[in-house]
Structure 1
Amino acid sequence: MLLRSLAGAALLGTLSLAAHAQETFDGFLCCNLRTDGSWMSDANYAESGKRVVPAGTPVRVTGYGRQRVLVEINGGKQAIGNDYSRDLDLPTFARRWVVKDDPNVKIASYPPKIREAIKSARITKGMTREQVAMAVGWPITSENPNLDVALWRMWISSFGGYSVMFDKAGKVTGVDTDPQTKVLVYVD
């Protein structure tokens, strides 16, 4: 009986992985994401040696691994790690970062100051939540379970936290952090 239960559990696990493996699709990066060449984390830290892969970059989701979405970008293999948003299942996590519509169409319609902030992977006053995400990535759900709040807690490094403050209309009013981090994440 125990053996049958274990075999059943293993089969369910295999079926679950098979279901994830079937959910491949093409899209675009929703946001600027930092990579070391093979790994992009939902924390999106700006560590030394990482480069920004711009919002709107064409992406193909090719499969799923343990807490990661496997993607192909410009012919190279990458993984987007679900390091801090594990309350999201992998298909939902994948669709958060890889979107159907090219964000560059929206970005082109924004005022020059907001376009430049997104291009430089920084935040500026007056941005919407979606524009902040395009610039610096979505906040991790472990600290931000609700995106409609007045404050998002974000990170540029494991020690460089900052808070993005929004007004009642959902526009950025400023960033609260130390001066060194502020220079890296905010432009006036």
Structure 2
Amino acid sequence: MYRKNVLGALFALGLMTAMSARAEVLFAQANFLLNKNQLSAVNYRGKGVAIPVGAKVAVVERDDDEIRCKVMDSGTEFRFVTHRSLGKPINVLFAGFFAEQDPAARIAALSPEDQKQVRAGELAKGMSREAVLLTVGPPPPHRTPSLQGNRWTYWSSKFSTFEVEFGPDGKVVRIGDEPVAPAPPPPPVEKTYYHATANFHFDDGTVSWVNYLKGPIIPFNARVEVLDKGSSSVKFKVVETGAELEFENDARSGSETWKLFQAAFALEDQAAKLQALTPEDRKKVSASEVEPGMSREAVRMAWGPPPPHETPSFNSSTWTYWKSKTSKVRVKFGKDDKVASIE
């Protein structure tokens, strides 16, 4: 009887040794926390029994829903489980937690400070991505699809999360509920201003391409800011007054709206052109008046370009303007290119 018992014990011991030899032994790739002998692929980072990084773990059994394991040093048994929201097979997720490679070499490649944090299982600012992975493991892929992202989201529990944020250098700059540093304001956009090339009249918020000689005036060289460009109109604002107006075109002009607008409002400051006139012409331009003896340039500044459908060329001896839709005024030039008469 005694001999049979001894033989039975030896057989059982040999069987256990053989099973142990065949067991799949892996290394913990980070510090993980067990909750009631369960390790979720969500990788909850709240409270629990710790499995230290580098710990040897034997895989006892695998199936589609869970993987049963045993921590070899402590003998603690646990179940690795997944969640359908993670969107990956359990074996793929498990490989991010436990692998054949001992992480000791990865830890040794870190800076001394990062090595301390990994061993302590604690996150700190300045840690590298690799150090974070070795400290707390991978973030759940449904909220952090790429480890190249600047923010990794972890779960403290089923109801709370925290973020680990990395800076441009790949080092941790924020952990948990610390306020997100505001993004630097974008550089101010330098506005583009146009300058009135003449005195332009407007009526009921509209500047006509005809430039009817009635109504309030946008003075020569006034700065304007374009607000919107359309096929038949250009909306703009007079910088000095804040008045928002609309430059309107119609089929009679035979020209594109933007081309007409640019003839009326140019990018270049017009002050030098005004100074090039005679003192008398400058006074007339400032008063929006045209009188005999004025040069073509002065007339152009005082009343604007004559509508091209009746004055196709600035070299014409007669420029035709409109005081209203039914009343015209003609400026005739002499051989000296000075105003000879106004009719």
- Report 1:94-113 matches (<5 A): 94-113=94-113
Q: What is the alpha-carbon distance in structure 1 between the residues aligned to residue 110 and residue 177 of structure 2?
A: 26
Q: What is the alpha-carbon distance in structure 2 between the residues aligned to residue 105 and residue 178 of structure 1?
A: 32
> Alpha carbons of 1:46 and 1:176: their partners in 2 closer, same or farther (altered >3 Å)?
closer
For 2:203, the equivalent position in structure 1 comes to none
> Alpha carbons of 1:170 and 1:25: their partners in 2 closer, same or farther (altered >3 Å)?
farther
User: SS of the residue aligned with 2:163?
Assistant: strand
Q: Which runs of 5+ in 2 are unaligned?
A: 1-22, 180-343
Q: What is the alpha-carbon distance in structure 2 between the residues aligned to residue 80 and residue 134 of structure 1?
A: 18
Q: What is the alpha-carbon distance in structure 2 between the residues aligned to residue 170 and residue 178 of structure 1?
A: 18
For 1:70, the equivalent position in structure 2 comes to 68
> Alpha carbons of 1:96 and 1:161: their partners in 2 closer, same or farther (altered >3 Å)?
same
How far does residue 43 in structure 1 lie from its aligned partner after superposition? 3.0
**More displaced, 65-74 or 55-64?**
65-74
Q: What is the alpha-carbon distance in structure 1 between the residues aligned to residue 130 and residue 84 of structure 2?
A: 19
The answer to whether the Cα contact below 8 Å between 1:42 and 1:85 also exists between their aligned partners in 2 is: no
How far does residue 136 in structure 1 lie from its aligned partner after superposition? 1.4
How far does residue 34 in structure 1 lie from its aligned partner after superposition? 0.5
For 1:93, the equivalent position in structure 2 comes to 93
Q: What is the alpha-carbon distance in structure 1 between the residues aligned to residue 84 and residue 114 of structure 2?
A: 27
For 1:154, the equivalent position in structure 2 comes to 154
How far does residue 60 in structure 1 lie from its aligned partner after superposition? 2.0
For 1:61, the equivalent position in structure 2 comes to 59
**More displaced, 61-70 or 26-35?**
61-70
Listed one character per residue, the Cα deviations across residues 118-172 of structure 1 (whole Å, up to 9, x for unaligned) are 2222212232222212111210112111221111111222344211111234222
The answer to whether the Cα contact below 8 Å between 1:43 and 1:84 also exists between their aligned partners in 2 is: no
Listed one character per residue, the Cα deviations across residues 65-110 of structure 1 (whole Å, up to 9, x for unaligned) are 4532221212342112223663221221121111221112322343
For 2:25, the equivalent position in structure 1 comes to 26
Identity of aligned residues (%): 24
Scaled by the length of structure 2, what TM-score is found?
A: 0.41
Listed one character per residue, the Cα deviations across residues 15-43 of structure 1 (whole Å, up to 9, x for unaligned) are xxxxxxxxx73220111110135211233
Scaled by the length of structure 1, what TM-score is found?
A: 0.70
The answer to whether the Cα contact below 8 Å between 1:85 and 1:141 also exists between their aligned partners in 2 is: no
> Alpha carbons of 1:62 and 1:85: their partners in 2 closer, same or farther (altered >3 Å)?
farther
Count the aligned residue pairs: 155
Q: Does 1:43 align with 2:42?
A: yes
User: SS of the residue aligned with 2:130?
Assistant: helix
Task: Pick the structure with greater CA Rg.
Answer: 2
Larger helix percent: 1
User: SS of the residue aligned with 1:157?
Assistant: coil
Q: What is the alpha-carbon distance in structure 2 between the residues aligned to residue 84 and residue 132 of structure 1?
A: 25
User: SS of the residue aligned with 2:77?
Assistant: strand
User: SS of the residue aligned with 1:80?
Assistant: strand
Q: What is the alpha-carbon distance in structure 2 between the residues aligned to residue 175 and residue 66 of structure 1?
A: 34
Q: What is the alpha-carbon distance in structure 1 between the residues aligned to residue 129 and residue 66 of structure 2?
A: 24
The answer to whether the Cα contact below 8 Å between 2:81 and 2:90 also exists between their aligned partners in 1 is: no
User: SS of the residue aligned with 1:106?
Assistant: helix
One-letter code aligned to 1:63? E
One-letter code aligned to 1:25? E
Q: Which has the higher contact order (CA 8 A, sep 6+)?
A: 1
- How large is the Cα RMSD of the aligned pairs? 2.4
Q: Which runs of 5+ in 1 are unaligned?
A: 1-23, 180-188
